[in-house]
C-alpha cells in the first residue's frame, strides 16, 4: 500500500507546494500506517501520531464522539490539520454499499502545510488530498485483497520471508518491481502470482 499511496500523493505534491507532510495513522493508539514528508524525514510522523493519541484521550474524557472529530493546530507559517479518513456519514454510505468498513473506520489523516497559506486553502487542499488518497486506497484495498492476504499468510509462516519472495518471483515470472504494486498487476500477472502463491503454500521448499 505504501507504493499505492506514494504514487497517488505524487499527483498532488506538485500543485500544492505548501504541503510538507501527510500521515495516515490508526486510532486510538496512533499506529502509523503510512507517511510522506517533503524532506524525507519520517520521524516527524511520530509527533503527529502522539497528537492523534492525545486528541483521542481528550475527546474520550469529554465523552465526545470520535467519529466526527477534526483537529487544527496552527503556528507561525504552519498549519496542521487532522481528520478521519472517512467522515461518519461516508462510513454509513460505505457500509450501505456492502463494503468492508473495517479498514477505513479508524484511520486518521494528518496534513502539514508550511509557508504563506490561508486557512481556507488549508481546508480546501486538505479535503482534496483526503479524497484523493481515500480513492486510491479504496481501489487498491479491494483489488489486491486476495493476493495481499495470501502473501501475508505465507510470509507470516515462512522461516525465510525474503527467500519466499525470491521464490515467488521465480515461480510467477512477475518481477519484483511489479510485485511492489499488487494493485497495478494486469489480469495475467495476477493469475500467475495467485497460482505461485498456491504452489508455495502447498510446497514452499520445492518451488
Binding site for other proteins (CB under 8 A): 1-3, 6-7, 10-18, 26, 29-35, 42-43, 45-46, 49, 53, 102-103, 105-107, 115-118, 121, 124, 128, 148, 151-152, 155-156, 161-162, 165-166, 175-177, 179-180
Nearer to other proteins, 160 or 191 (CB): 160
User: Do the Cβ atoms of 139 and 132 come closer than 8 Å?
Assistant: no
Nearer to other proteins, 59 or 184 (CB): 184
User: Do the Cβ atoms of 51 and 99 come closer than 8 Å?
Assistant: no
User: Do the Cβ atoms of 174 and 149 come closer than 8 Å?
Assistant: no
Q: Which of 73, 60, 61, 1 is nearest to 27 (CA)?
A: 60
Angle value at C-alpha 14, between 13 and 16, nearest 5 degrees: 65
Pairing of strands 107-114, 78-84: antiparallel
Nearer to other proteins, 80 or 85 (CB): 85
E-strand spans in the chain? 19-26, 31-37, 71-75, 78-84, 107-114
Nearer to other proteins, 69 or 106 (CB): 106
User: Do the Cβ atoms of 22 and 110 come closer than 8 Å?
Assistant: yes
The nearest distance, CB 42 to other proteins, in angstroms, is: 6
The nearest distance, CB 119 to other proteins, in angstroms, is: 12
The nearest distance, CB 184 to other proteins, in angstroms, is: 9
Q: Which of 78, 59, 79 is nearest to 68 (CA)?
A: 59
User: Do the Cβ atoms of 22 and 129 come closer than 8 Å?
Assistant: yes
The C-alpha cell at 79 is 498549519
The nearest distance, CB 30 to other proteins, in angstroms, is: 6
Nearer to other proteins, 42 or 198 (CB): 42
The nearest distance, CB 188 to other proteins, in angstroms, is: 14
The nearest distance, CB 71 to other proteins, in angstroms, is: 18
Nearer to other proteins, 2 or 68 (CB): 2
Length of the chain: 207
Amino acid at each position: 500500500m505504501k507504493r499505492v499511496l506514494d504514487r497517488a500523493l505524487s499527483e498532488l505534491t506538485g500543485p500544492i507546494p505548501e504541503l510538507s507532510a501527510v500521515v495516515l495513522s490508526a486510532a486510538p493508539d496512533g499506529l502509523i500506517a503510512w507517511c510522506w514528508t517533503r524532506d524525507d524525514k519520517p520521524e516527524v510522523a511520530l509527533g503527529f501520531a502522539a497528537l492523534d493519541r492525545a486528541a483521542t484521550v481528550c475527546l474520550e474524557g469529554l465523552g465526545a464522539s470520535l467519529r466526527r472529530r477534526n483537529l487544527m493546530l496552527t503556528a507561525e507559517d504552519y498549519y496542521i490539520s487532522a481528520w478521519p479518513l472517512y467522515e461518519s456519514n461516508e462510513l454509513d454510505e460505505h457500509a450501505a454499499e456492502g463494503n468492508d468498513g473495517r479498514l477505513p473506520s479508524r484511520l486518521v489523516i494528518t496534513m502539514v502545510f508550511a509557508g504563506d497559506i490561508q486557512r481556507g486553502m488549508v481546508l480546501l487542499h486538505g479535503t482534496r488530498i483526503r479524497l484523493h488518497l481515500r480513492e486510491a486506497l479504496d481501489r487498491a484495498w479491494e483489488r489486491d485483497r486476495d493476493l495481499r492476504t495470501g502473501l501475508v499468510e505465507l510470509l507470516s509462516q515462512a522461516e525465510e520471508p525474503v527467500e519466499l519472495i525470491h521464490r515467488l518471483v521465480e515461480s510467477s515470472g512477475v518481477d519484483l518491481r511489479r510485485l511492489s504494486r499488487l494493485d497495478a498487476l494486469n489480469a495475467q500477472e495476477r493469475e500467475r502470482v495467485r497460482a505461485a502463491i498456491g504452489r508455495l503454500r502447498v510446497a514452499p521448499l520445492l518451488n
